Amino acid sequence: MHPPPCIFSFFSGSGLLDLGFESIGFNVAYVNEIFPPFMQAYRYSRHCMNLPLPEYGYCEGEEADVTRLVGGEPAFRLRELMQDARKHHDIVGFIAGPPCPDFSIGGKNRGGEGDKGQLSASYIELICQQQPDFFLFENVKGLWRTKKHKAFYGQLKHQLADSGYVFAERLINAIEYGVPQDRDRIILIGLRKNLVKNLGISLEEKSPMLAESLFPWQSQVLYPKSEIFSHPWPERTAFADDGFVPCPDGIPQDLTVEFWFQKNDVLNHPNAKHYFTPKAGIKRFGSVDEGDDSKKSFKRLHRWRYSPTACYGNNEVHLHPYKVRRLSVAETLAIQSLPKEFALPAKMTLTNMFKTVGNGVPYLAAQGIAKTILQFLYH
């Protein structure tokens, strides 16, 4: 039996990505989050789920500024923790999904020059400096979309290749892993060349990309993209407050919003009453058909379909399928496929609650990626 790999987590938010890795045996030893409300939520949710404290504790506030971790005293402290981790663990990895509004289609589009884009560059610099055995980098597919973003992303990969890493890369959709949500994300996994060679895998000299046949991406895919969207999903149903709509035949019911609302008992969840109520009238809330998610805002989910990407900032308003209101935090946690024991602190602001949920990597997708990495390391 192999000792579980040790994880250093950056841009940890409220810990959705970490939880997926931890649930299958990774040891999350170090947690880094600069924004205090997210870190409080991380601690609170772990308390709710009776999970142990990270071995090296929580790095938060100014100390957690990743741009500072690449130089001076903070970098030295991190190096010491890495050295200690290596004494007790065969494999040490970094995981992160740096903030992405500078690359997202609906965001500022400033790319690598934006403040948030710079955080991706700092994370890559940190990897090159600290040399973990493997790393995970999660980001929006906007990184592939425009010439400018592609060039920036290519530069980051070039830097990593020069530092001795080879890669496996894939555009995943959370729905493939059983998440009731259509959410595309780029996943870049880097592995030290020496580690891969020690696994008995021969590498191509010319390319830092691992051959597709070598990395078991498909092993954890439950619902292939090529098939899932061709099911007879219901389109739209006239909205009726608390109306009944039977589940249609021929769809995977466990990928529907309603299945997860029931599974997580969202009406009795600690965050059931946490939702925005409009300042002026709710007339508009009743005028959108169930399943009409065609507009940028005021998307109404369909109970017997998966959700559009869980994104609740920048005027993105997602409406409950059959109630005259917006989604609650409990419902968004279910859409992110979290265990029902996971909860956010009641004193957190609604804006921060929805932001941290929307920013997180869906739990089942995180779990699937973690299993894929384990399978590669211990094949």
Question: How many C-beta atoms lie closer than 10 Å to residue 32's C-beta?
Answer: 24
CATH class, domain 253-359, is alpha beta
Spell out the residues 6+ positions from residue 13 whose beta carbon is closer than 8 angstroms to its own.
Answer: 33, 38, 42, 356, 359, 360
Return d(Cα 288, Cα 309) in angstroms, integer: 18
β-strand pairing of 27-33 with 92-96 = unpaired
In whole angstroms, give the CA distance from residue 271 to residue 257: 17
For the chain (379 residues), the mean pLDDT of every run of 10, in chain order, is 89 97 97 96 97 95 89 88 95 92 52 67 95 96 84 94 97 98 97 95 88 93 96 96 96 98 98 88 84 92 97 87 96 98 98 96 98 94
Tell me how far apart the alpha carbons of residues 346 and 338 are, in angstroms, rounded to a whole number. Answer: 18
Given this model, what pLDDT does residue 103 score?
A: 47
Amino acid letter, 297: S
Comparing 6-222+362-377 with 253-359, is the CATH topology the same?
Answer: no
pLDDT at position 143 is 83
Query: Can you give the residue ranges of every domain in the chain?
Result: 6-222+362-377, 253-359
| Known catalytic membership, residue 59 | no
Model pLDDT, residue 110: 57
Class of the CATH-defined domain 6-222+362-377: alpha beta
Query: Which is catalytic among the residues 6, 48, 59, 100?
Result: 100
Query: Quick one: CA dihedral 108, 109, 113, 115, positive or negative?
Result: positive
